Amino acid sequence: PQFVFAHYNLGHTCFLQGRFADARDAYEAGLAADPQPGARQRCRAALAHAAAGDPARAGSYFDQAFEGEEAESRAELIAESTAVLEALTRMPGANARALRDLIDLVEAKM
């Protein structure tokens, strides 16, 4: 898709379907095409990377997402991201330790 938010919408849809590698790829395409990606898009890309088994890249996106965000917006994104990461720890085959490390990283941004 040429429309940036089509990539983000595809990423969100794939994530909800459990197609995490596809979600990651769609978010990456959106971020690459977006001249000013927002914190929410970076958080969702981070979650897709975490779910697809790349906690290092997820951590990088979380760092970028929270940098410069207002406290209220940051708190909302942190709560949302933490809830999703907690849910991911309960999925079969999940790397719970890496996901818990990401939860710690995200919560430290408060």
pLDDT at 1: 56
Question: pTM for the complete prediction?
Answer: 0.93
Mean of all residue pLDDT scores within the chain: 95
Residue-wise pLDDT for 17-57, tens only, equals: 999 999 999 999 999 999 999 999 999 999 999 999 999 99
- 57 in Cβ contact with 49 (< 8 Å): yes
Distance (Å, whole) CA 108 – CA 110: 5
Q: Where are the domains of the chain?
A: 4-107
Q: Which CATH class is domain 4-107?
A: mainly alpha
Residue-wise pLDDT for 89-109, tens only, equals: 999 999 999 999 999 999 999
- 34 in Cβ contact with 19 (< 8 Å): no
Burial class for 95, CB neighbours closer than 10 Å (0-12, 13-18, 19+): middle
